[in-house]
Amino acid sequence: MSDPAEFTVIVTDTARDARDLLIEASGLTATRVSNAMASGAAWLKTEHGFRRIRRRSAKLSAGDELFLNYDESVLSQTSAPAELIKDGGRWSVWIKPSGMRAQGSKWGDHTTLGRYAENHLEPQRESFIVHRLDLAASGLMMLAHDKKAAAHLSGQFAARTVGKRYHAIVHGKFPGQAEPQQYLGEIDGKASQTEASRLRFDPESNRSVLQVSILTGRKHQIRRHLADAGFPIVGDRLYGKEKPGSDFTLSTTGTHPLLDKVKSDPGFFAEDLCLIASRLTFDDPDTGERIKCECIPQEWL
């Protein structure tokens, strides 16, 4: 089966298990259905709402609805492993690699950070997403491991008390003033604000290393602001297209220790997108202690 397909079963016989019912409805093999369920592609609708089911032993009641959202292109996706930075019990902080998703979809969640954490934390815990990071970007992401911690941490993001810092390599000679460059404007109809300052410039490759802070969290905000200013992030296939009259070229030639670091260490940088979430600060939901996590190599600082 190459095209995505959705299958639905209304439960009438509660003596049969979920996997067998989905095999019968889809015509797929037991192995494919089992793998799809383990990857988060199966859902159960009860009087209490929707939830993913991963095991054939899920309890069923008459009138429940089973759903299988089967897409081989999604289920075949893989990602590099994440790295645990700090485990706070009710929360944890990870380095998300490029290609690992922050959040799943109805088609699956097996390449998400939350699912990776559930499979690798000891002791095992449920995971809740409290913020996001671009698929192509890498760097620090926080997870909550119970609903109260998730609400507390989400509240910190809403109140903008969480500190976030990024590092990026951009094309061109970024201004080197003492004060950060300010980028303001609307993204998707909402106000946005980004601050960026230059750490280093490499004349041979015509690239700059930047430290970036965002005061709002719009989709692709850093990538869009820097590209609009004429300094697209290296490897940004979505926004990094050369514009008429611009003074930069999207060249991948030239050597520099920083650029070598990007190429040799995909665990810290996206496959091609040179953007990393490098610092995260927040208050521990239990103690109120200010927690600071960093993942930028010292040579970048």
Active-site residue, 283 included: no
Please work out, in degrees rounded to the nearest 5, the angle formed at the alpha carbon of residue 278 by the alpha carbons of 275 and 279.
Answer: 145
Amino acid identity, position 247:
D
Written as six digits, the tokens of 175 are 């201004």
Q: Which of 176, 229, 234 is nearest to 201 (CA)?
A: 176
What lies within 8 Å, CB to CB, of 3 at 6+ separation is none
What lies within 8 Å, CB to CB, of 97 at 6+ separation is 79, 80, 81, 82, 138, 266, 267, 270
Options 64, 109, 134, 236, the catalytic residue = 134
Taken in order 10, 73, 111, 56, the sign of the CA dihedral is: positive
Other beta carbons within 10 angstroms of residue 156's beta carbon come to: 18
Q: Which residues are catalytic?
A: 134
